[in-house]
Chains A and B, each alone.
Chain A
Amino acid sequence: MMVQTAPVPPSVSAALTTTEVRVTSGFQGARIVLYGAVFDPSHQPSDIVVLVRGPEQPIRIAHKVRIAGLWINSRPVVFHGAPGFYKAASTRPLDQIAGFGVLRRLGAGIDHLAINAPAEQRVETRYGVKDVVVNRLGADYLDWRQAVVRLKAKMGLYEEDDHGVIFVDQNLFKADITLPTDAPIGRYQAQILLFQNGQLVSQRVRELDVKKVGLQRSLYLFAHFHPWTYGLVSVSIALAAGWAASAAFRRS
């Protein structure tokens, strides 16, 4: 007679090949591999979504408008909630893995990132309806938001890869994460999500530090903690170099 045990819930586990990216003077970006495994005794069809987010940075963006024949910048709009780096990798296109609501709640996919411009919004009562969010950018709001994503994608900072997660063995998967040279310094988070039948069933979070080391770090700290001394040192180097070159040329 078979013993009926409580079903073991499916779970996911993952690890990064590197948890610390060292930015040295020869930094050319980095390639990190994420490996993971799905534990599911019932062998349901599984989908994996990996979301990597860099440190959040407010974004100032302006629209070019033509005034009196000249192209000039409009008033800049500040968007909040935008990660400095974002990559969504998955085993299939996201909209096939889960529904709109689920993806939106998780911020899975560039379209579902919670980027907004709070300074442009106000809450008011319209037609007797309370708390209506009105955006000063009006119908153009979507254009603005798309521009943020488009410009970030062009810099290699935002990416969505429908087939970025590959099952290398029955339950073993892998994803490549490429950080460009422009990737911001700071703490990154990789969220590994396991979906079955359109529902999130298990998740893991792994952290990744991108930091300046060695001379890069010393110079950065020097410039930020002793800015005046740093300025004097850098200008002294400049003046001394000018003098040295002149002296060298005089002799020759």
Chain B
Amino acid sequence: MALDIYLPIAEVSVNGPLLVALGAGVGFISGLFGIGGGFLMTPILVFLGIPPAVAVASLASHVAASSTSSVISYTRARAVDFRMGGVLASGGVVGSIVGVEVFRWIRLIGQADLVVSLSYLIFLGVIGGLMLSESLTTIIRSRRGGSQPQNRDRRPPLLYGLPFKVKFPKSRMYISIIPPIALGVFVGMLSAIMGVGGGFILVPAMIYLLRMPANVVVGTSLFQIIITTTLTSVLQAGRNQTVDIVLATLLLIGGVIGAQLGAKASSRFRAEELRAILALIVLAVGLRMGLGLFLTPTEPFVLMTGSGG
């Protein structure tokens, strides 16, 4: 079949239209929820038989593409806090460099499977669960017509007590830059290990920890994702030669279009409903990835493919 395309770096043959459609689907989710979509795409690509190292590395540029596509729309809607995005990204850069080294070591001792599955299970499970319960509470409360408790004006000492305060006019905040940088480092490390942009952690963390206004969260998170994934992509290509340009291009053709449609569609939904749907997706992926740890494997041995495993 002429629709199958041989990938020069991954050295496997894949169905072209299927990858474009996948890219579009994940791109749509990315634009809709303001996340990179890597947490969905990495498991799918690995399932399709693409070596994990290549999947993770090539995905970074796909995520950069769909994030760029939707960030431009959010910029037009003036929903990006570039200063906050820059602070987060500076932490993200440090985190991803450290994360790449940590992951290298984990692969060497052959525990990459375990660490990846466990991180998916723990982080996606916890975040999905928290988001789901929070958004359901909000939805139920607004259905009952009760008043929303105002906690916007609380000033947590974590944000306001620490030194190095900076003004973030876009977010109407004047907080220490230590928590956002720490968040950036943490997300950067996780993204290198899990092969994700980190949006699914950033978005809730920006809302609940940094108390940023909800309307700038999505655009800002996407902006920081562009910076870290661009760096990750170049680093992976330069150090590991694992970026498959054909794979990345196939994914991003669908991805950029899907992201545009997603960003448009997002205005039609209520924020808490969107969060509830995202929470369900996140939970499902986390449980699916974690399930493998508990089921008795049909094949007790695993080949560690690729140069590094």
Q: Are B68 and A64 in contact (CB under 8 A)?
A: no
Interface residues of B in 213-247 (CB under 8 A from A): 226, 230, 233-239, 241, 243, 245-246
A139 contacts the other chain (Cβ, under 8 Å)?
Answer: no
Q: Are B109 and A75 in contact (CB under 8 A)?
A: yes
Q: CB-CB < 8 A to B256: which residues of A?
A: 241-242, 244-246
Q: Are A181 and B13 in contact (CB under 8 A)?
A: yes
Q: CB-CB < 8 A to A182: which residues of B?
A: 11-12
A39 contacts the other chain (Cβ, under 8 Å)?
Answer: no
CB distance from A249 to the nearest CB of B (A): 4
Q: Are A73 and B297 in contact (CB under 8 A)?
A: no
CB distance from B172 to the nearest CB of A (A): 27
Q: Are B302 and A73 in contact (CB under 8 A)?
A: yes
Chain B: residues with Cβ within 8 Å of the partner, total of: 63
Given A147-B300, A223-B243, are A238 and B111 neighbors across the interface (CB < 8 Å)? Answer: no
Q: Are A237 and B245 in contact (CB under 8 A)?
A: yes
Q: Are B237 and A224 in contact (CB under 8 A)?
A: no
A182 to B304, CA, bound (A): 15
Q: CB-CB < 8 A to A23: which residues of B?
A: 6
Q: CB-CB < 8 A to B71: which residues of A?
A: 242
Given A72-B293, A237-B249, A243-B69, are A27 and B238 neighbors across the interface (CB < 8 Å)? Answer: no
A6 contacts the other chain (Cβ, under 8 Å)?
Answer: no
Q: CB-CB < 8 A to B259: which residues of A?
A: 242, 245
Given A219-B246, A230-B243, are A246 and B61 neighbors across the interface (CB < 8 Å)? Answer: no
Q: Are A246 and B237 in contact (CB under 8 A)?
A: no
Given A61-B303, A72-B293, A212-B8, are A238 and B109 neighbors across the interface (CB < 8 Å)? Answer: no
A216 contacts the other chain (Cβ, under 8 Å)?
Answer: yes
Given A237-B249, A245-B256, are A228 and B237 neighbors across the interface (CB < 8 Å)? Answer: yes
Q: CB-CB < 8 A to A241: which residues of B?
A: 65, 68-69, 249, 252-253, 256
CB distance from A158 to the nearest CB of B (A): 12
A8 contacts the other chain (Cβ, under 8 Å)?
Answer: no
Contact with A along B62-75 (1 / 0, CB 8 A): 10111111111100
Q: Are A238 and B110 in contact (CB under 8 A)?
A: no
A76 contacts the other chain (Cβ, under 8 Å)?
Answer: yes
Q: Are A220 and B296 in contact (CB under 8 A)?
A: no
Q: In chain A, what residue has the closest Cβ to B257?
A: A245
A25 to B1, CA, bound (A): 12
Q: CB-CB < 8 A to B301: which residues of A?
A: 61-64, 144, 147-148, 150-151
Q: Are B304 and A242 in contact (CB under 8 A)?
A: no
A240 to B38, CA, bound (A): 19
A31 contacts the other chain (Cβ, under 8 Å)?
Answer: no
A7 contacts the other chain (Cβ, under 8 Å)?
Answer: no
Q: CB-CB < 8 A to B12: which residues of A?
A: 181-182
Q: In chain A, what residue has the closest Cβ to B290?
A: A70
Given A61-B301, A223-B237, are A242 and B252 neighbors across the interface (CB < 8 Å)? Answer: yes
Q: Are B234 and A228 in contact (CB under 8 A)?
A: yes
Q: CB-CB < 8 A to B226: which residues of A?
A: 239
Q: Are B114 and A27 in contact (CB under 8 A)?
A: no
CB distance from B166 to the nearest CB of A (A): 27
B contact residues vs A (CB 8 Å cutoff): 1-2, 4-6, 8-9, 11-13, 61-62, 64-73, 76, 109-111, 113-114, 226, 230, 233-239, 241, 243, 245-246, 248-249, 252-253, 256-257, 259-260, 264, 292-297, 299-304, 309
Interchain residue pairs with CB less than 8 A apart (13): A25-B5, A64-B297, A64-B300, A73-B114, A73-B302, A181-B13, A219-B246, A230-B237, A231-B243, A241-B68, A242-B66, A242-B72, A242-B252
